[in-house]
Amino acid sequence: MQKPRLMTPGPAPVPEDVLLELARPVIHHRSAEAKQVIVECAAGLKDVFRTANDVLILTASGTGAMEAAAVNTVPRGGKAIVLNAGWFALRWAKICQTYGINAVTVDFEWGRPVDPQRVENALKEHPDAVAVFGTLSETSTGTGHPVEAIGKVVARTDAVFAVDGISGVGAMECRTDAWGIDLLAVGSQKALMLPPGLAFLAVSEKAWKKIDAFDAPAFYFNLKSARKKMADFDTPYTPAHTLILALRQSLRRLQAEGMENVWERHRKMSEACQAGIQALGLELFSSRPAEGLTAFRVPEGLKDTQIRGKLSERFGITAVGGQDKLKGQIVRVGHMGYMDELDVVSGLAALEMVLAELGYDVEPGRAVTAAQQVLIGPRSAAAVG
């Protein structure tokens, strides 16, 4: 028997009751029933994203929401600052290139957080920048960026702040309005506990002003059309509405838990995972880890494919390796969405056994114990000790 355990930084596991929503008979997307589902989802998304602004629902992967944010906000020939600190941040630059947006990249070492001071400098140097494109959780390096601090810097300028929150939102604190995020792109398949296929985009008034100022080269991803339809709780084209049905259910779950508790759960999973990894003598890749995934360097003498292959073969665990220049150098373990503390503990137990079987010098139980100590808190740990 092999029991599948999805521990990738997206897609993340989906609760059974959410999956079952997908198996319900299809309804017409313009029916009163379908509209009521969108009414509820619109309210739930605002709560989860901590925004009073419109949240648009797109049938696409998260990349579609990034593209929509960029092409609708910055006209061809306009300037944008890209906070380039990983593979997915680079996607902003590629989107800009495709649409003739003049992307000024501010480069950071992969695995290091964006420095808000450098963002401030870049904005001073480029006062004509229409937008700053950043990332909440850089999935390729497992790094969480200081979006709140960057948001403060951008808010003082005329530029809008667009954030790729695809693997971040839900897995780490993100207060869209309070932090000055003008465009927040989110995907369904991460901490929102859904299969892939939907993307979301929260848009501020400041962003709408930029959007309303020109005719964007966007049809399917035209935000003006989407806003007009959303005002009536509708979408411009036929949406993936079985996924929207499931979204309603996952939003109910998130709201029942409460976003502060959801963030806290992910923070704990993240800290426990980091403690476990380090207790094995492994090195974390990021100097400021994201809270929905943990990336560690492949130890000397082993290959990432050996570790991941054996995790899969022995325990049905899917983890992923590095992308682009990090290929073969890191392993990334997801702990977001429908996962809890015990999933992290058992994942670490599996990693210990797999490393031991691969001949790596590891003392089984050390990672588990270190994680447990994080999870039960210092006082309880002391009492047990």
Please tell me whether residue 134 binds its own copies under the rule CB under 8 A: no
CB of 355 to its own copies, least distance (A): 22
The answer to whether 157 and 128 have CB atoms below 8 angstroms apart is no
Q: Which is nearer to its own copies, 330 or 362 (CB)?
A: 330
Q: Does 160 bind its own copies (CB under 8 A)?
A: no
**From candidates 84, 140, 204, 242, binder to its own copies by CB under 8 A:** 242
DSSP string, 102-139: EEEEEE--TTS---HHHHHHHHHH-TTEEEEEEESEET
Exactly one of 103, 218, 275, 354 binds its own copies (CB under 8 A); that residue is 218
Strands, sheet with 330-334, edge to edge from the N-terminal-most edge strand: 293-297, 330-334, 320-321
- Residue 75: asked if its preceding bond is cis (omega within 30°), the reply is no
Nearer to its own copies, 156 or 325 (CB): 325
Choice from 41, 45, 48, 60 touching its own copies (CB under 8 A)? 60
Mark residue 111 as left, alpha or beta (left: phi above 0; alpha: psi -120 to 50; beta: remaining). Answer: left
CA distance 184 to 198: 14
Q: Does 113 bind its own copies (CB under 8 A)?
A: no
Q: Considering only residues 135, 222, 249, 373, which one is a binding residue for its own copies as defined by CB under 8 A?
A: 222
x/- binding map, residues 14-43, to its own copies, per CB under 8 A?
Answer: x----xx-xxxxxxxxxx------------
105 binds its own copies (CB under 8 A): no
Q: Counting contacts by CB under 8 A, is residue 303 touching its own copies? A: no
Stretch of residues binding its own copies (CB under 8 A), selected from 60-68, 104-112, 149-157, 376-384: 60-68
Return the structure tokens found at 211. Answer: 């959007």
Q: Is 233 in the site for its own copies (CB under 8 A)?
A: no
CA dihedral sign, ordered 332, 337, 338, 340: positive
302: three-class secondary structure by DSSP: coil
Q: Is 255 helix (H, G, I), strand (E, B) or coil?
A: helix
Binding residues for its own copies (CB under 8 A): 4, 6, 8, 10-14, 19-20, 22-31, 59-64, 67, 94-95, 98-100, 187, 189, 195-197, 215, 217-222, 236-243, 318, 320
